[in-house]
Amino acid sequence: MSHFIEFEDVCKYYVMGENKITAADHISFFVEKGEFCIIVGPSGAGKTTVLNMLGGMDTCDEGRIVLDGNLISEYSQKQLTTYRRYDVGFVFQFYNLVQNLTALENVELASEICRDPLDARETLTGVGLGERLRNFPAQLSGGEQQRVAIARALAKNPKILLCDEPTGALDYNTGKAVLGLLQDTCRNTGRTVIVITHNSALTGMADRIIRIKSGKAVSNEVNLHPTPVEEIEW
Amino acid sequence: MNKTYHKTVLRTIRSTLSRFLAIFAIVALGVGFLAGLLSSPVDMRFSADHYYDEADLYDIRILSTLGLTDSDLEEVRKLDEVEAVMPVHDSDFVLLSSEGDSYTTRMHSLPSDTGDGSADYLNRLTLVEGRLPEKAGECVVLLSKSIGQQHEWVGQTLTLDPDEEDLKDHVANTFTVVGTVKGPAYVSMEQEHTTAGSGKVGLLAYTADDSFTMDYYTGFYLSVRGAKDMNSFGSAYEDAVAAVTDQLETLGKDRSAIRYEQIVDDANAELDDAKEEYAEKKAEADQKLADAKQELDDGAQEIADGEKELKDAQSAIDNGQAELDSNRASYNTQIASARQQLNDGYAQIQNYQAQLDEGKKQLTDAQAQLTEGYSQLSDGDAQLEAAKAQLDATQQNLDGLDSGKEALWQTAASLGLPVSDTTDAGALAMIAQLQSLLGSGTELPIPPEQAAALVEQLSSLQGGLQALAEQGLDTVSARTQLEAGLAEYEKNLAAAQAARTQLDAQQKLLDDKSAELQSQQDTLNANRAELDANAAVLQQTIDSTEAQFSSAEAELADARAQYADGVQELADAKQKLADGQKEYEEKKAEAEEKLSDADEKIKDAEAQIRDIEEGEWYLFTRDDNVSFSSYDSNADKIAAIATVFPVFFFLVAALVALTTMTRMVEEERQQIGTLKALGYSSAKIAGKYLFYAAFASVTGSVFGLLVGMNLFPTIIISAYNIMYDIPKILTPFNFPYALFSSLAAIACTLAATLSACWAELREVPARLMLPKAPKAGKRIFLEYITPIWSRMKFTRKVTARNLIRYKKRFFMTVIGISGCTALLVTGFGIKDSISDIVSLQFNDLSKYQLTVGLKDPSALEGRDLQKILSDKERIKGSLAVMQNDGKIVPKKGDPADSITIFVPSDASALPDYFTFRHRTDDQPVAFDENSVIITEKLAERHHLKVGDTITVENQAETKASFTITDICENYVYHYLYLSQSAYEKAFGEKMEENALLCQLPVDGTPEDEDSLTTDLLKCRDVAGASFTTELSRSFGNTIASINYIVIVLIISAGALAFVVLYNLTNINITEREKEIATIKVLGFYDKEVSSYIYRETAALTIIGTAVGLVLGIFLHQFVIRTAEVDMVMFGRAIYAPSYLWAALLTLLFSLLVNLVMHRKLKKVSMVESMKAPE
């Protein structure tokens, strides 16, 4: 019965002046441990809301969110922070690297606050940046920066890896490479990876595809034969 | 501008409200503070001027030591420019309250008409309580800041001090207080000086003019036409008044010459009288003294005579005594020998007597034997007699018995009886027969009667015969015995007769011997009588001689007593003489003192007449009014502080405002690009930011002006109202300052905005649309120091890198914070500097406590002054000096400062009264005959150093040049210290002492000071006495007020610091929102997020504070140098606590800001991290 990640009738409302916007409307889905899951939907469908709630950056107004048996939806702010700190790795669309830190230091920034971090240097080597440890973000290309970001997320040794449009700011090839990295990470480490994108072309590479539309999860399908990323075109 | 565009602007304001408010607040603070402080002195003067105008304060005051007359009044009134004249009788004297308090009072007269319409009523009083005086002997008391307070005045009666002899005929002797007032002439705390009483005016009072009965006015108060419309602190007013004073000076010369002549003549006449009287009195006294002296000399002579007499008497007594003693000795010898003779005589007699007595005793013994013999003889006689008698009785008895026997024998015979035996036995037998016959009753032949007689005869014969028988005798033997007895008797009788004859012969011999002895005794008695007579004669002689001696001794005793009396008398006489001598000396001293007093008085009078001099008019303007000028100089002080400080303050504010605007423009780069892409003109785009900036700075300026120009002057004037009585605080809107400061603020912000916009707008929209390439991270030098770098946590590394990466932000923040710290340091430093002056100048540098002003060097010889100076309990030491006003002859471009030329009468003593030292290194500066020492501030103002030449001009306008030998620390006024010889040589005139510097005992009380002043002022030619305590007190008051201003400065600087820190932190956070959001997403706790940001702010604050502390030193120096009044040098040091406070306050504000910012940080949404870089 219990899945690794579980959304159960989750609702989220934003009040803007007199209007009440329903960002999440009784969303329910689940993800199993070790899956490479893609949440896909058009702009404004509520993908980011889902991501925020799952990432502990936002709370839900109704429903339950469970991760690895923990009821995230009932967490206090402090608990949420701790949750983010130890259980979630986050990869941003715009990398969000600290400009003032080298690649290695950016990774250390995350790993230093964790209980059981991976070695920053190794992680970076793992994402193919073994030679660029001491480079500042501004000295790296977009793809390299995103790799650093992924390394930063991974180094925390989190339960899940959340990626928000990880290829959004990257060119096609770089994007592919980054996706490949994520997929490999999932396969090699058995870590649950959730990627949010508007690009449905990517769905082929996922183990599980959750489609979201107008704040509702319209489907939750399992792809038993994910396509390797190299073969995906968009 | 179209609607949407307009909206964007308003929306920008709303969305960046904290930034908008920060700019608003900074501009408001800067502008308000600058304009407020700049207008403070202006408002101070304005408020005072307003009060002066309302109260018709005089413009000019005329005084003349000679007094002013009605004709003077007329002449003054004639001048066109004079609007009103109020002639007054002002006088300083001592009044005593009923409780015995003594008040040195300045009594002013009021004009008869004190109504609102009275044109000649100047210095109008404001009633506080009661009413104004209406008749002589009534007065009102002025409640000034320093005197008259805290006392129930109304109803009190004050009486003129009986010591005020000169005045008692010219002024009412009692005053009843009918009210209390405030007045424009005395608005300050400074005490006025006077030559009456304690030297300080302790009570200010106004009375009706009738209370004074002098025939002259003591002064005129007058107002200048049109002067009321001008600000009395301005130059226009000064010129207007100066024009009138010039005229008055001319007039005064004429008028006082007239008055002078009259008075000097009168005075001289009086003086001549006095001199004459003095001469008379002196002659009289001299005569009296001479007489007394003569008398005393006579007395002394008499005593000498008496002494001699006594000496003679003494020797006479001694002689008499000696004679008496020798007489007594010879007398004693004679008497002794006479006594011896007598005693020898008596001894012989005694001897004889003894022999005689022995003879007598033998005689007596012999007599006794004789008498014994006689007695035996007599006894023999008696025995003989008795034997005779017995013999006789026996004879008779025998005769009777014989006769009875015869008769019996007859009877018997008669009767017939035979008679056979005639012996005694036969008789007894016959008797027994007869008796038996008679008893038988037989009738006998004899009558009965014969019978009875016969019986009886028979019994007696029987008895006799029986008795004889019993003795064994009978009548016949008895008769033989008797016959033998008789014979013996006869023989004894013959023997007795022979013994008697022998005895009688012996008696006869004895009697002869006795007679012989008796004759010897008689001779002896005669001798004794002779001796007795001799003794009596001797005794008589002794008695008479003793009597002679006694009388001689009595005589001597009398003489001695007389002598003793004489001695006593002489001692008395001597005592009397000594008393007389003493009295004479006393009387002489008294007379001499009286004479010398009189002489002194005459000299005083002469001095007074001399002092009358030419009888100048003294013209005083408001500048000479103590409260006016001190108020003015305080306004100057504020003006001085209020220039540099707020300007710097303003600069910091402007800098922060422009930083903020620049950042804002830079942040909105993308929006600018969008607008530009949409086809908005550069002007229009820039317009938005300009509008934003203008809106914030204009509203800020208006708000700042409205608040600051009211608040700051009000606070400052209120602070000064501790010392000054300015009833109404007026803060008129001061357009020049308002415009100046607000325009400056607005211009700064706008210019900054414009230049920021310009930089952005130069780029093409396409590039603007793209996010500005993030500034590359850079290695900083610290990284190369691996030991440190590798040990740093990299959150610290981030901080370190960030600080260095954003150089502009770094510098702006550091400058902003350091500016505030510097302002705080300066604020505290000003306080230190100003507080320093008092203790440095009056405690450390001046080592005297009292300055006595002298009218003339001759005052030093005044007896009273000498007496006071020699009393070490009152004045420990004094040094006569000359302090003359002089001027420095300036080099080109330097100010023509007034200086005090200071010349001690004794160069070597000067260092006891002044501490000469260098300020910077505390090294003492020596002073000797060749020294030329100037004070530090003077050297500074004229760029003089040791070895330079200084040229000065003295009062006589003689110029002299000196080579400076040293420069000494000094804070108040400028001094040139010269030795007497140097002065006299350089100026070619004699040094004339005009002041005495005195050191007082350390434990002196204010009462001691008062009494000392009172006594000093009584001395001839003493002009005044001022205590440094007083000066330091008055400086202390100023400093108290300045402290308030400093507090205002500190609070303002603190406020600025807060706003600046808030703003800078705010910018910091806004700029790094995304980074903050990211680290939040990474799971940083709120505290970690805050500290991540704060570490930077803290570092910036600490660096800024450190820089500010250093900057503060310079700013403080600058402010102090600017703020210093010409005559005063402030302390140049800032004390450690001031730095500490400034630093602590900055850090405290930083902490406060961070507390506020913590909430803001918590509010940063993690969603920000999702946003594309702008």
Q: Looking at mean pLDDT, say which of B606-615, B1032-1041, B1064-1073, B1129-1138 comes out highest.
A: B1129-1138
> Apex CA B1127: angle with CA B1126 and CA B1128, to 5°?
100
Residues of B in contact with A55 (CB under 8 A): 1081
* Of the partner residues A81, A92, A113, the one whose CB lies closest to the CB of residue B1169: A92
Cβ-based neighbour number of residue B426 at 10 Å: 15
Tell me how close the Cα of A36 comes to any Cα of chain B, in angstroms.
21
Q: Using an 8 Å Cβ cutoff, are B1113 and B830 in contact?
A: no
Mean pLDDT value of segment A24-52: 88
Q: Looking at mean pLDDT, say which of A164-168, B430-434, B694-698 comes out highest.
A: B694-698
Q: What average pLDDT does the structure give for chain B?
A: 83
Mean pLDDT value of segment B434-446: 73
* Both structure tokens of B913: 């009264």
Mean pLDDT value of segment B507-527: 88
The answer to whether residue B185 scores a pLDDT higher than 80 is yes
Mean pLDDT value of segment B186-206: 77
Tell me how close the Cα of A207 comes to any Cα of chain B, in angstroms.
25
* Chain A, nearest residue to B1089 by Cα: A81
Per residue in B132-165, pLDDT tens? 998 888 999 988 776 766 577 888 888 888 877 7
Q: Quick one: which of B228, B222, B217 has its CA closest to B244?
A: B222
* Chain B, nearest residue to A96 by Cα: B1078
* Chain B, nearest residue to A87 by Cα: B1083
Residues of A in contact with B773 (CB under 8 A): 138
Tell me how close the Cα of A27 comes to any Cα of chain B, in angstroms.
20
- Give B854's contacts (C-beta < 8 A, 6+ positions apart): B860, B880, B993, B994, B995, B996, B1021, B1022, B1023
* Of the partner residues B802, B1083, B1169, the one whose CB lies closest to the CB of residue A81: B1083
Residues of B in contact with A101 (CB under 8 A): 777, 794, 797-798, 801
Contact B1085 A110 (CB under 8 A): no
Contact B798 A100 (CB under 8 A): yes
* Of the partner residues B773, B805, B1169, the one whose CB lies closest to the CB of residue A96: B1169
| % of chain A beyond a pLDDT of 70 | 100
* Of the partner residues B798, B801, B1173, the one whose CB lies closest to the CB of residue A94: B1173
pLDDT value of residue B1109: 92
Instruction: List, as one string, the DSSP characters of B370-404.
Output: HHHHHHHHHHHHHHHHHHHHHHHHHHHHHHHHHHH
pLDDT value of residue B1126: 65
ipTM of the complex: 0.88
- For residues B790 and B32, which has the higher predicted lDDT (pLDDT)? B32
Per residue in B798-846, pLDDT tens? 777 777 777 777 887 888 888 888 888 888 888 888 777 777 888 888 8
Mean pLDDT value of segment B204-225: 88
Mean pLDDT value of segment B988-1000: 87
| % of chain B beyond a pLDDT of 90 | 3
Mean pLDDT value of segment B291-306: 87
* Of the partner residues A57, A82, A94, the one whose CB lies closest to the CB of residue B1172: A94
Band of pLDDT at residue B1129, cut at 50, 70 and 90 = confident
Best mutation target among B793, B1082, B1089 (most A Cβ atoms within 10 Å) is: B1082
DSSP classification of residue B843: I
Band of pLDDT at residue A43, cut at 50, 70 and 90 = confident
Q: Sort residue B679 into left (φ over 0), alpha (ψ -120 to 50) or beta.
A: left
Per residue in A163-195, pLDDT tens? 988 887 778 888 888 888 888 888 888 889 999
Mean pLDDT value of segment B728-737: 87
pLDDT value of residue B849: 87
Contact B1084 A113 (CB under 8 A): yes
- CA B495 – CA B226 distance, rounded (Å): 192
The answer to whether residue B502 scores a pLDDT higher than 80 is yes
Lowest-confidence segment of A131-145, B399-413, B630-644, B758-772 by average pLDDT? B758-772
Residues of B in contact with A52 (CB under 8 A): 1166-1167
pLDDT value of residue B772: 60
Q: Quick one: which of B904, B1150, B440, B1083 has its CA closest to A112?
A: B1083
**Pairing assessment for the beta strands B850-854 and B995-999 based on DSSP bridges:** antiparallel
Lowest-confidence segment of A75-89, A183-197, B1065-1079 by average pLDDT? B1065-1079
Window A:136-165, CB contacts with B under 8 Å = 136-139, 152, 156, 164
Superfamily of domain A33-59+86-231: P-loop containing nucleotide triphosphate hydrolases (3.40.50.300)
DSSP classification of residue A203: G
pLDDT value of residue B496: 86
Tell me how close the Cα of A138 comes to any Cα of chain B, in angstroms.
5
Band of pLDDT at residue B703, cut at 50, 70 and 90 = very high
* Both structure tokens of B400: 């009777």
Q: Using an 8 Å Cβ cutoff, are B92 and B196 in contact?
A: yes
Contact A101 B1167 (CB under 8 A): no
Residues of B in contact with A100 (CB under 8 A): 777, 798, 801-802, 805
Per residue in B226-261, pLDDT tens? 888 888 888 889 888 888 888 888 888 888 888 888
Q: Which residues pair with B181 in a beta bridge?
A: B127, B142
- CA B320 – CA B328 distance, rounded (Å): 12
Could you tell me if A6 lies within 8 Å of chain B, comparing CB atoms?
no
Best mutation target among A58, A85, A100, A102 (most B Cβ atoms within 10 Å) is: A100
Contact B1166 A136 (CB under 8 A): no
Cβ-based neighbour number of residue B1149 at 10 Å: 25
Contact B777 A85 (CB under 8 A): no
The answer to whether the Cα torsion of B204, B205, B206, B208 is positive or negative is negative
The answer to whether residue B15 scores a pLDDT higher than 60 is yes
Tell me how close the Cα of A152 comes to any Cα of chain B, in angstroms.
9
pLDDT value of residue B1106: 92
DSSP classification of residue B412: I
Residues of B in contact with A96 (CB under 8 A): 1074-1075, 1077-1078, 1081, 1169
Tell me how close the Cα of A188 comes to any Cα of chain B, in angstroms.
23
* Of the partner residues B805, B1083, B1170, the one whose CB lies closest to the CB of residue A113: B1083
Per residue in A92-113, pLDDT tens? 888 888 877 888 888 888 888 8
Mean pLDDT value of segment B1094-1121: 87
- For residues B464 and A31, which has the higher predicted lDDT (pLDDT)? A31
pLDDT value of residue B702: 93
Q: Using an 8 Å Cβ cutoff, are B1084 and A113 in contact?
A: yes
Residues of A in contact with B1170 (CB under 8 A): 48, 92-93, 164
pLDDT value of residue B178: 92
The answer to whether residue B701 scores a pLDDT higher than 90 is yes
DSSP H/E element including A50: helix A47-54
Per residue in B1032-1063, pLDDT tens? 776 777 677 777 777 888 888 888 888 888 88
The answer to whether residue B1083 scores a pLDDT higher than 80 is yes
Contact B798 A98 (CB under 8 A): yes
Q: What pTM, to 2 d.p., does this model score?
A: 0.61
DSSP H/E element including B899: strand B898-904
The answer to whether residue B1 scores a pLDDT higher than 60 is no
Contact B1082 A139 (CB under 8 A): no
* Of the partner residues A96, A138, A156, the one whose CB lies closest to the CB of residue B777: A138
Contact A48 B1082 (CB under 8 A): no
* Of the partner residues B1075, B1085, B1170, the one whose CB lies closest to the CB of residue A81: B1085
Residues of A in contact with B1084 (CB under 8 A): 81, 85, 113
pLDDT value of residue B613: 66
pLDDT value of residue B704: 92
Residues of A in contact with B795 (CB under 8 A): 109
pLDDT value of residue A232: 79
pLDDT value of residue B659: 80
Tell me how close the Cα of B1 comes to any Cα of chain A, in angstroms.
27
Q: Using an 8 Å Cβ cutoff, are A125 and B807 in contact?
A: no
Q: Which residue numbers of B have CB closer than 8 Å to A's CBs? A: 773-778, 793-795, 797-798, 801-802, 805, 1074-1075, 1077-1086, 1088, 1166-1167, 1169-1173
Best mutation target among A72, A98, A113 (most B Cβ atoms within 10 Å) is: A98
List phi, psi (to 5°) of B993. Answer: -60, 130
How many interchain CB pairs under 8 A, A with B?
97
Band of pLDDT at residue B610, cut at 50, 70 and 90 = confident
- Give B452's contacts (C-beta < 8 A, 6+ positions apart): none
DSSP classification of residue B153: -
- CA B999 – CA B112 distance, rounded (Å): 48
Q: Using an 8 Å Cβ cutoff, are B23 and B753 in contact?
A: no
* Chain A, nearest residue to B790 by Cα: A105
Band of pLDDT at residue B216, cut at 50, 70 and 90 = confident
* Chain B, nearest residue to A78 by Cα: B1085
Every domain of chain A and the residues it spans:
33-59+86-231
Contact A92 B1078 (CB under 8 A): yes
Per residue in B891-925, pLDDT tens? 877 777 788 889 998 888 888 888 888 888 888 88
* Chain B, nearest residue to A49 by Cα: B1167
